[in-house]
Amino acid sequence: MLGLLDEFESANDEAMSLYLPPGLPQSQVEDLLQKALVPQAIVQDIAGFATSSWTGAVLFWGTTRSYLVLPPFPVTDKYIATGYDGEPLRSQLEANLSIALVLVRLGAFTIGVCQGEKLVTSKTGTGLVHARHKKGGSSQRRFERHREKQVDTFLERVCSHVRQQLEPYASSLEYVVYGGSRTTIHSLREHCPFLKKFEDRTLPPLLDIPRPRRSVLEAAIGTVWSCNVTEWLEDHAI
């Protein structure tokens, strides 16, 4: 993305730049897109992409090159300008933000804090949680009660490690990102009161995370810092 912003600085074609914070009504976004000279035929489609993004959107609409960017972190201000104005997005991408990642699936977890894209602290571990079975009867009920205790013990252990890793950085963390299983993430947040202090700094979860381990954590940092970019060519996107 930074390379693309560098290219914009030498571009000669006419263009408009539009920054859209999350939460804007679709009707307002459509009005702003029309001011940015987006063709009426695709205004509704682009507005749909922008309003469904948890972090808002950035539009660069030019006579030869047009891009819709979903940034990794929320757009803070509504802004429209002539030309390819990438500075607000560049400032976001070059900021040395402190971000915590909590990746968890039943039986495995990895927790880290990164400064920019550099991992500064981490903890990875496992815990015994038996898989479900379908035998039925009183045996199954006993097994399920035992399994529930294993899950509780595992989540309490993860919560303890989350606190150890995040508490020294709590005041400076800009964002927290969860990853792994949606149901396990939800259960962890219910089990861990410490995490409630970050609810206003939580980004969308990474749900395609495999079994958590150190290498998965390192890859997830790159994902957190990545933009989703759609290029529009004439009457279609690629």
Q: What is the pLDDT of residues 57-85, one digit of tens each?
A: 999 999 888 999 999 999 999 999 999 99
In Å, the largest CA–CA distance within the chain is 75
- CATH 3.30.420.60 domain range(s) in the chain: 98-224
Give me 228's structure tokens: 């989703």
Q: Taking all residues of the chain, what is their mean pLDDT, rounded to a whole number?
A: 90
Helices (H), the chain: 2-9, 26-35, 40-52, 87-94, 137-166, 182-191, 214-224
Please determine, for residue 6, whether its predicted confidence score (pLDDT) is greater than 70.
yes
| Strand order, beta sheet including 175-180 | 118-126, 108-115, 98-105, 175-180
Residues in the chain: 238
Q: What would you report as the CA-atom Rg of the chain, rounded to the nearest whole angstrom? A: 22
- The whole-number pLDDT of residue 175 equals 97
Inter-axis angle of helices 40-52 and 26-35, nearest 10: 130
**CATH architecture, domain defined by 98-224:** 2-Layer Sandwich (3.30)
Please determine, for residue 178, whether its predicted confidence score (pLDDT) is greater than 50.
yes
Confidence of residue 149 (pLDDT cuts 50, 70, 90): confident
- CATH 3.30.960.10 domain range(s) in the chain: 2-94
Determine the Cα–Cα distance for residues 44 and 29; give it in Å rounded to an integer.
Answer: 9
Give me 135's structure tokens: 């035998």
Confidence of residue 128 (pLDDT cuts 50, 70, 90): low
Please determine, for residue 99, whether its predicted confidence score (pLDDT) is greater than 80.
yes
- For residues 91, 93, 174, 165, the Cα torsion angle rounded to the nearest 10 degrees is -140
**CATH architecture, domain defined by 2-94:** 2-Layer Sandwich (3.30)
Confidence of residue 12 (pLDDT cuts 50, 70, 90): confident
